[in-house]
Amino acid sequence: MAKVIEGLYYSESHEFVRIEGEFGFVGITDYAQNQLGNVVYVDMPEVDDEVTAGEEFGAVESVKAASDLISPVSGTVVEVNEALEDEPELINKDAFENWVMKVKLSDPSEVESLMDAASYEKTCE
């Protein structure tokens, strides 16, 4: 059973965003990491890149699959999770703890169109 955490926002393409003030921490959900299997590489954006809600910002690779990362929010990338460069498998260990990028949100209201934990849990059934 995939883990879902209360208080985060979720997209249909299985990304989450955790809001802290004017920033959003974006990563893939536990369900997504489980589907992918052993993550071997995370293609991350660069700091200062602009990301747009609904558009691709990177990719996650396992041995025999790859999945584009679709940003759930818009804004500017202020940090990427460099630990994933050497240890992409951290995503398998704890997907929610190991976010991919930190975004300064340009439109915080966007999260309202995302799912809460309860509705996301239903889509994973």
Partner 1 sequence: MNNVYYGKLIFELSRPGRIGYSIPKDHTGEEGFAALPDSVLRKSPLRLPEADEQTVARHYTNMSNNNFGVDTGFYPLGSCTMKYNPKINEEMASLPAFTQLHPAQPASTAQGALALYYETQRALSEVAGMEAFTLNPFAGAHGELTGLMVIRTYHERRGDTKRTKIIVPDSAHGTNPASAAVCGLQIVEVKSTPQGTVDVEDLKPLLGDDIAGMMMTNPNTLGIFETKIPEIAKLVHECGGLMYYDGANLNPMLGVCRPGDMGFDVMHINLHKTFSTPHGGGGPGSGPVGVRKGLEDYLPNPQVVKKSDGTFAIEYGNEALGSVSPHFGNYAIIIRAYAYLLSLGRDGIARAGKLAVLNANYIKEALKSHYLLPIEGLCKHEFVFDGLRPEYGGDHHDDAHVTTLDVAKRLLDYGFHAPTIYFPLLFHEALMIEPTETESKDTLDDFITVMKKIAEEAKSDPAFVKASPHSTPVRRLDDVRAVKDAIFRFQFD
Partner 2 sequence: MHRYFPHTDSDIAEMLKAVGLQKLEDLYAEVPEELKLSGELKLPESKSEAEIRKIFEELAAHNKPLTCFAGAGAYDHYTPSLIPYIASRSEFSTSYTPYQAEISQGTLMYIFEYQTLMAELTGMEVSNASMYDGSTATAEAMMMACAASKKRNKVLMSATLNPRVKDVVKTYAHFHGVDLEEVDAASNGLINREAISSKLSADDVAGLIVSQPNFFGLVEDFSGLADECHAHKTLLTINSPASTLGALKSPGEWGADIACGDAQSLGLPLNYGGPYIGYLCTSNSLIRKMPGRIVGQTVDAEGKRTFVLTMQAREQHIRREKATSNICTSQGMMCLYVAAYLSLMGPKGLREVNDNSFKAAHYLCKKLLQTGRFKLVFDAPFFNEFCLEYSGDVDGLIKKCAQEGVLAGVKIDDHKILIAATEKRTKEEIDHFVELTK
Residues that bind partner 2 (CB under 8 A): 40-41, 43, 61-66, 68
Please name the residue that has the structure tokens 């997907």: 95
Distance of CA 57 to the CA centre of its chain: 10
Nearer to partner 1, 64 or 122 (CB): 64
- Tokens 């558009």 belong to 55
Quick one: which of 40, 32, 102 has its CA closest to 71? 102
* Count of chain residues binding partner 1 (CB under 8 A): 6
**Paired residues of 67 in beta bridges:** 60
Choose, by CB under 8 A, the member of 21, 64, 82, 109 that binds partner 1: 64
38 binds, among partner 1, partner 2, none (CB under 5 to 8 A by kind): partner 1
Q: Which residues bind partner 1 (CB under 8 A)?
A: 38, 40-41, 61, 63-64
